[in-house]
Amino acid sequence: MTPITPVSNVEPLKGMKDLHPKLMRDHAYIKTVIDKIATQFSYEEYTLPILESLDTFSHQASTELIAEQSYRFVDKGDRAVILRPEITPVLARMVAKESGSYTLPLRWYTVGNCYRYEKPQTGRLREFAQLNFDLIGKTELSYDFEIIAIITALMTAFNVPPHAYTLRYNHRTVVDVLLSRNNFTATEKTQFYALIDKKRKLDADAFNDAINEKFSDPNKQTFIKEYIDAKTLDDLMPTAEIGKENALPPALKQSIEMFREFEANMPTLSLNMQAKFDPTVVRGIDYYTGIVFEVFAEHGKGPGRSLFGGGRYDSLLEKYSSKPLKAGKSLSPNKARSAIGFGMGIHIFSLFLAKNDLLPKDNRHVHTIYLAPLDTEGLCYAFSVATYFHNKKFNTYLGIVHHNIQNHFKKAEQEQCSYMIVLGEKEVLSRKVVMKNLRRSQQNSQQNSQQNSQQNSQQNSQQNVAITQTYDIPLS
């Protein structure tokens, strides 16, 4: 017989994480809340393949994401493929594939795994579950407002206090036009966005060194340094142009008008949520166009970086297909390719909730009946008892056979079961079981310990009836 060689390394690959039941319970809770909010806002769930053609991402995401941070290879069919590093381009591909069969707007959401080969750190894994909410249809600000409203609803549903997070926003088209007016080439624009996106990870000296390394033109260096110090949109505009939007190029004029309308409505839209302009929010991926945003943890509660973010990607769908999407009555076909959405990493968000003590306690066996077999016959009868109570919408937890009933009580308490049924010879022969309410029993014990013995005697005779109930259960 060939000897078994033990596995020497039982750790998952670097950047991957085993999700034990406790973490899965946290993730399941988060998904339940997400599903609830999605239903409330009439969003429909979809799913996508994990493995995609490399071409799906080649021209839509950042160069760094594809060239340096992706899991890609040539498969057995000699095709260049990639484990999806994000969801949005795959969604665009799917919508383009079936574009003739959809009526806009599309309100869709998904939670699926993504893969990025980047340095693991707190809240950042190489395999991670990501939530995406996307609204596909028109360029109107109502779409931006709806996505912000969903974010507010999500945070409220998770009981996150408004002071614990901030939504920071910017406008990519405004920034892009300003870069063009300062003679940034297309390549320099990509470098600019990548650099700004990394600013929070660099100290001041490292950031200045990066500016000097990537941009040799002193004027461009000065522009970048002034850009990151901007507190408002007007700070980004030449002084002579403030308040004179009509004289600006049409793309810049339209974007500024939309941005000012967005800012004017944020106090009403975001309720008590903190929201502010932030020039460092640019969303480094290439396909973003209009308003972009990120949600940050505040007051040291949670990972020290952005929790999640998103924005508008008006031109991405057009890059995948020339087929027009069907427009609803209120939508004109020439405006049917706009979209806005956001993505949230479930793991980093669960860390934020845990840091703020917002995850539910372990209550997996609340309303669960602990079945306590005292012998083999009791064990066999337990399955009939379990079936009976499953039909009554109870859950059951089957203990191992043990003659010592105290061990069963300890295990039932350890598993936080609410009820208990002992299954011994008497129960098997009579086909009758007594269900004990452990929660009521514990409450009564605590109350009785504070009362005198005469009161205990009078109450116990009544409480025993209240905390137990008998059932006739035949073999199934």
116-158 per-position pLDDT tens digit: 998 888 888 999 999 999 999 888 899 999 999 999 999 999 9
- pLDDT at residue 238, as a whole number: 66
457 assigned to some structural domain: no
427's CB contacts (< 8 A; 6+ apart) are 378, 381, 421, 433, 434
Same-domain check for residues 287 and 422 = no
Coil/strand/helix, residue 78:
coil
| Distance from chain centroid for Cα 356 | 16
Least confident segment among 33-37, 107-111, 135-139, 459-463 = 459-463
In DSSP terms, 112 is beta-bridged to 130
The highest-confidence range among 58-72, 214-228, 280-294, by mean pLDDT, is: 214-228
424 domain-assigned? yes
Span 446-455, pLDDT tens digits? 444 444 444 4
Q: How many domains are there within the chain?
A: 2
Q: Which of 341, 350, 348 is nearest to 110 (CA)?
A: 341
Question: CATH number for the domain including 397?
Answer: 3.40.50.800
Confidence of residue 177 (pLDDT cuts 50, 70, 90): confident
Q: Are residues 267 and 372 in the same domain?
A: no
306 and 214 assigned to the same domain: yes
Q: What is the pLDDT of residues 242-285, one digit of tens each?
A: 555 566 778 788 888 889 899 888 877 766 678 999 999 998 78
Residue among 11, 33, 49 nearest 155 (CA): 33
Q: Which segments of 105-247 does DSSP mark as H helices, in order?
A: 141-157, 172-181, 186-197, 204-214, 218-228
Torsion sign over Cα 363, 369, 372, 377: negative
List, for residues 287-338, the tens digit of each pLDDT value: 898 999 999 998 766 555 789 999 999 878 777 765 555 555 443 444 446 8
> Is 375 contained in some domain?
yes
The pLDDT of residue 474: 87
Burial call 247-282: b when 16+ CB within 10 Å, e when fewer: ebeeebebbbebbeebbeebeebbeebebebbbebb
Residues 278 and 403 in one domain: no
- Percent pLDDT > 70 in the chain is 85
Are residues 431 and 342 part of one domain? Answer: no
- Determine, yes or no, domain membership for 96: yes
One domain, residues 346 and 384: no
Supply the CATH number for residue 110's domain: 3.30.930.10
Residues 43 and 103 in one domain: yes
193 in any annotated domain: yes
Same-domain pairing of 297 and 155: yes
In a domain, 10, yes or no: no
Non-local (6+) Cβ contacts of 111 within 8 A are 31, 34, 129, 130, 131, 132, 346
Q: Does residue 390 share a domain with residue 348? A: no
The answer as to whether 143 is a domain residue is yes
Mean pLDDT, residues 73-79? 95
- Within this chain, do residues 344 and 382 fall inside the same structural domain, yes or no? no
Residue 208 lies in a domain: yes
Entry pTM: 0.84
Mark whether 272 and 338 lie in a shared domain. yes
Return the residue matching tokens 């339209």: 254
**Shared-domain flag, residues 94 and 145:** yes
If you search the block for the tokens 């308490």, which residue do you land on? 413
Query: Kind of pairing, strands 274-277 and 165-171?
Result: parallel
Show the domain range for 133: 21-323+334-356
